[in-house]
């Protein structure tokens, strides 16, 4: 099998219509490409200076910026405390009784689905008696 350079991607592709190697494509020497120059201290890459830096007591800064994280609403903070408690419950039941209902409903639907699959496989595998 012969190969040729693709005009679209510039990579080797199989060429089944060629009768002899390198026809109609001739080998081309590789071109040298210079690596791009790295530019430091541009407008997109600034460093934190003492004048723009906030004190550590004001909270954490977003990565790569001088902007502090927005404060969390109190409801989210309470939910975090609820889910981080060590009360030996799995995380999918820590939300309260409604989570328990959702868990049991999901398990029941999964069991019904598996039973439906088993029934379908059985009806297709075992022929009806005539």
Q: Please, what are the domains in the chain?
A: 71-125 (4.10.91.10)
- pLDDT for position 8: 82
d(CA 96, CA 82): 10
Q: 71 and 58 in contact (C-beta within 8 Å)?
A: no
pLDDT tens series, the chain, 130 aa: 567 777 888 888 876 665 555 556 666 777 788 887 877 666 666 555 555 555 554 567 878 778 888 888 999 999 989 888 888 888 888 988 999 999 999 999 999 999 999 999 999 999 888 7
Single pTM value for the model: 0.44
d(CA 103, CA 107): 6
Asked, as a colleague might, if the bond just before 16 is cis with ω within 30 of 0, I would say no
d(CA 102, CA 92): 9
- pLDDT for position 125: 94
d(CA 111, CA 105): 10
């Amino acid at each position: 099998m012969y190969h040729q350079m693709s005009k679209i991607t510039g990579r080797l592709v199989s060429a089944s219509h060629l009768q002899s190697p390198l026809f109609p494509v001739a080998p081309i020497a590789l071109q040298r490409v210079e690596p791009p120059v790295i530019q430091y201290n541009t407008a997109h890459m600034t460093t934190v200076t003492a004048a723009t830096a906030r004190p550590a007591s004001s909270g954490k800064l977003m990565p790569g910026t001088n902007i502090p994280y927005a404060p969390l609403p109190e409801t989210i903070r309470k939910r975090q405390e609820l889910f981080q408690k060590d009360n030996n419950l799995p995380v999918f039941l820590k939300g309260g009784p409604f989570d328990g209902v959702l868990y049991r409903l999901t398990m029941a639907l999964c069991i019904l689905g598996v039973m439906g699959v088993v029934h379908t496989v059985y009806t297709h595998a075992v022929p009806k008696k005539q």
